[in-house]
Amino acid sequence: GENVEQHPSTLSVQEGDSAVIKCTYSDSASNYFPWYKQELGKRPQLIIDIRSNVGEKKDQRIAVTLNKTAKHFSLHITETQPEDSAVYFCAASKSRSSNTGKLIFGQGTTLQVKP
């Protein structure tokens, strides 16, 4: 069935370093790839997303890249800050008009940024 694998499960970096989280999806029909950040005790919040017709998208210190051939997408955070510490989830979905519209989530990556 549909599956999204996310790595690593935990990631610890020094403040100012870069962090990269990688996801692989199984359904080649997936065309929408959001990333969510969940701070401790709070709801997941959308931080960036990318569609399959785009290879890369950037928003200040965060960027997402997509390799459709390899069915990989990655989140890149540059110049990390302690407030970036959170759990990050990737997800994949097909077009809502063609299926249930369900987002398939990865297992999450706990990012710790050490001051």
Partner 1 sequence: EAQVTQNPRYLITVTGKKLTVTCSQNMNHEYMSWYRQDPGLGLRQIYYSMNVEVTDKGDVPEGYKVSRKEKRNFPLILESPSPNQTSLYFCASSPLTGNYGYTFGSGTRLTVV
Q: Which residue, 94 or 113, has its beta carbon nearer to partner 1?
A: 94
| C-alpha span between 65 and 54 (Å, rounded) | 8
**CB of 28 vs partner 1, minimal distance in Å:** 19
Q: Which two tokens stand for residue 96?
A: 């809502």
State how beta strands 4-7 and 32-38 pair: unpaired
Select from 75, 112, 107 the least CA-distant residue to 9.
107
Residues that bind partner 1 (CB under 8 A): 32, 34, 36, 42-46, 49, 89, 93, 96-97, 100-103, 105-108
Residue 71 burial (10 A CB sphere; 0-12, 13-18, 19+): middle
Q: Which residue, 62 or 108, has its beta carbon nearer to partner 1?
A: 108
**CB of 115 vs partner 1, minimal distance in Å:** 26
Q: Which amino acid belongs to residue 78?
A: T
**CB of 26 vs partner 1, minimal distance in Å:** 15
Q: Which residue, 69 or 100, has its beta carbon nearer to partner 1?
A: 100
**CB of 101 vs partner 1, minimal distance in Å:** 6
